[in-house]
Amino acid sequence: MDKKCSDCDGTIVIPDDALSGEIVSCPDCGLEYEVAKTRSNSVELKPAEPVGEDWGE
């Protein structure tokens, strides 16, 4: 399944076995997306939140 990148309009290939929470990235600009839902061949992408440093606090 393919989706378009919201930033550069590049094609993001999403594996058929992608799970909710999985991270996929645009091969053109590198923007990362999180697979939000998978229902009967329907996938929604939302921008992945950057993970901050964990300083053990």
Tens-digit pLDDT profile for residues 9-37: 999 998 888 888 899 999 999 999 999 87
pLDDT at 4 over 80: yes
This prediction has a pTM of: 0.75
| Domain around 22 | 2-47
In a domain, 57, yes or no: no
User: What is d(CA 41, CA 1) in angstroms, rounded to the nearest whole number?
Assistant: 8
* Domain count of the fold of the chain: 1
Return the higher-pLDDT residue of 55 and 3.
Answer: 3
Which residues, in sequence order, are CB contacts of 29 under 8 Å at separation 6+?
5, 7, 8, 10
pLDDT (tens digit per residue) in 33-43: 999 876 666 78
Separation between Cα atoms, residue 23 and residue 31, nearest integer Å: 10
Asked whether residue 13 is domain-assigned, the answer is yes
Tell me, yes or no, whether 17 lies in a domain: yes
Residue 27 lies in a domain: yes
**For residue 9, is it within any domain?**
yes
